[in-house]
Structure 1
């Protein structure tokens, strides 16, 4: 089993510097919320984790299937409810692939496999927030 170890140190006001398995990450909140905006919010990092998780899955399957993708950009839109706890109402993901002669059906199948079978972050988040995704191809 893979273990994650995080050591978080308060570095001022509401900002924390975290050592995540040897990698440094700073989280904070906006000035309007009492922070100094020294880093992304914890909820934004949760979304970044979703992008990273599905992105790694997708690129692994693309490599395994020898698909020639020139580029992949992932965009997330989310909205937080007004009442506490301020959880996400929804998460929308857009996967934009770039390359010549790419098969939409093949890429859509790969994204679906990531989002519905392999990505642990998506599996955890979808229990509490609806996640939708879309695949687009640009040449």
Structure 2
């Protein structure tokens, strides 16, 4: 097995997570003893989704020679009321700007990412309904 992450306890509920050569601080919510040292670990799953699908889409659009000026992703999520409070509904909103956007090809890239290539999306789909929205030149 390959080592991916190490977690070094700092104080109270705070840890430094080391992934390859990057360190990310994490902390619990204040009601559980956190002190604002960093984001909550569960939220990092949504950042992983944004990064994973974003890289997929950029790669595919490059291969399709679809230019764009800017691209961003926003993610909204609902979680279960009961523990372990997994994400149950996730909306991934893709925003593109540019003069030569091709909606059909961008949709194809998004659907391939979320449906086939993004391992984070595949993992989250085990507990959540995953939907997306495309906004062009909003």
Distance 1:51 1:35 in 2: 25
Write out aligned runs for 1:92-103 (5 A). Answer: 92-103=91-102
Tell me what 1:31 maps to. 30
Provide TM-score, normalisation by structure 2. 0.94
Distance 2:30 2:122 in 1: 32
Distance 1:131 1:4 in 2: 29
Tell me what 2:13 maps to. 14
Using a 3 Å threshold, how does the CA distance of structure 1 residues 3 and 98 change in structure 2: closer, same or farther?
farther
Distance 1:105 1:88 in 2: 29
Distance 1:3 1:92 in 2: 31
Distance 1:59 1:124 in 2: 21
Distance 1:136 1:60 in 2: 19
Superposed displacement of residue 100, structure 1: 0.6
Tell me what 1:130 maps to. 129
Using a 3 Å threshold, how does the CA distance of structure 1 residues 135 and 4 change in structure 2: closer, same or farther?
farther
Using a 3 Å threshold, how does the CA distance of structure 1 residues 132 and 4 change in structure 2: closer, same or farther?
farther
Gap regions ≥5 residues in structure 2: none
CA contact (8 A) 2:88 2:127 kept: no
CA contact (8 A) 1:51 1:74 kept: yes
Gap regions ≥5 residues in structure 1: none
Provide TM-score, normalisation by structure 1. 0.93
Using a 3 Å threshold, how does the CA distance of structure 1 residues 4 and 65 change in structure 2: closer, same or farther?
farther
CA contact (8 A) 1:28 1:40 kept: yes
The number of equivalent residue pairs is 138
CA contact (8 A) 2:88 2:129 kept: yes
